[in-house]
Structure 1
C-alpha cells in the first residue's frame, strides 16, 4: 500500500527536479521512491560488506609489503 507524505523544498529546486525527471522519462515521485529504497538499504550493504570481509579473513599476505610496493602499478 502506498502512503502519501508531504515534503517541503525550494520552489526552484522542485521545478529543476521535475524537469530533470521528465528528461529521464520518469517522475519526481518515482525518483523519491527510489531514493527512499536506497536510503533504507544502506545498513544492509554495510552488513553485506562486513560478512564478505569475515568470509575472506583467511587470506593473509605472504610478506609485509612496503608502501612503495603496495602503490606499484
Structure 2
C-alpha cells in the first residue's frame, strides 16, 4: 500500500492549504518531533534500532518456544 504524506499550512488570511505527496516505491515517511535536523536523525536512528532489537527479541523468543515444543514431543 502506498504511503502519503499530507502536510497543511495556513496562509496570512487563515486559509488552510493541504499538500499531498505520495511516497515512491522505495520510500517511506516517518514523522519525528525534534528541535533540529540533527536531533531528528538521531531520534529516527534510535527508534529504528529499538524496533530492530524488539523484532530480534521476538524472533529469539519464538525460536525458544518452538524448541520447547519439540523437546516436549
TM over 0.5: no
Q: Give the TM-score normalised by structure 2.
A: 0.36
Task: Give me the TM-score of the superposition, normalised by structure 1.
Answer: 0.36
Structure possessing the higher relative contact order (Cα contacts under 8 Å, 6 or more residues apart): 2
Pick the structure with greater CA Rg: 1
Question: 1 or 2, which has the higher helix percentage?
Answer: 1
